[in-house]
Amino acid sequence: MEILLGALNPIALKLGPFEIHWYGVIIASAVVLATFLAVREGKKRQINPDDIYDMILWALPVALISARAYYVVFEWSYYAQHPDQIIAIWDGGIAIYGSLIGAGIVVYFFCRSKWIPVWLMLDVAGPVVLMAQGIGRWGNFMNQEAFGRITSLQFLQNLHIPHFIIQQMFIDGAYRQPTFLYESLWDILGFILLMSFRHRKNLFKRGEVFLSYVIWYSFGRFFIEGMRTDSLMIGNVIRVSQVLSVVLFVGGITLWLIRRKRMPNNPWYLDGNELNPQKS
């Protein structure tokens, strides 16, 4: 007989009126780890660590605001009636694609101002951002969000996943597809592959590590998004993230091919930052 233990508490710590949510703890941990790895790789590519720290200090708040704004815009029918909930990001409700758009804009202008090749910085960031996204999905897990359609206990048991995940997927009186887990595993697998191959000599031209990230993530996200029940929609017919995934997947491959054909003299990723005056 299966014993239901109930959902995990989404609050990690409570100090008087203040609550620290697991969602925030997990996201913050992912950002810290991603920053550490980006700085370590950036040094190898002749990017000053201080520049990476400064860029992140600008990118993080913009990414957070744009992620929330993206979500609120596509759920405006709700937030128009509950404006006090617009800033309640601790309850979830941020869109990864929104954060990537906002952070991407910051990266572009920051790198131009610091004489850092934009594509090189994106190459350094791509794999660790993918890792952070994979870790961040566990924040959705703690909030019991980003789940899929109703399924059976037997199906979940057949996946051979830990019992605590199965119990957390008992939502609104039914077991749900753990789509958060599918995406997390897809992201972590992509991170491992990119980290394994990006230092291969004469494999990636500058910009292609980042484009690999875009292609990999958008491909997986398209199919996983189709399983979810909480997708942002256009007219209750089209899933926003699926449309954007198709655009990014096709655009990533197209841009890769165009750059290879029209700019054969692009430097290799391993060549690093030729604009760094301290490079030997």
Q: Pick out the residues of the known binding site.
A: 137
- Asked if 62 and 103 touch (Cβ cutoff 8 Å), the reply is yes
Asked whether the beta carbons of 123 and 209 are under 8 A apart, the reply is: yes
DSSP annotation of 268: B
| Alpha carbon separation from 83 to 80, 111, 167, 236, 243 (Å, rounded) | 6, 36, 33, 22, 28
Indicate if the alpha-carbon torsion angle 18, 5, 26, 91 is positive or negative. Answer: negative
In the three-class reduction of DSSP (H, G, I as helix; E, B as strand; rest coil), residue 267 is classed as coil
Which H or E element spans position 228? none
Q: Smallest Cα–Cα separation from 182: which of 244, 226, 242?
A: 226
Asked if 10 and 143 count as a contact pair (C-beta separation under 8 A), the reply is yes
Spatial CB neighbours of 153, under 8 Å, sequence gap ≥ 6: 2, 166, 175
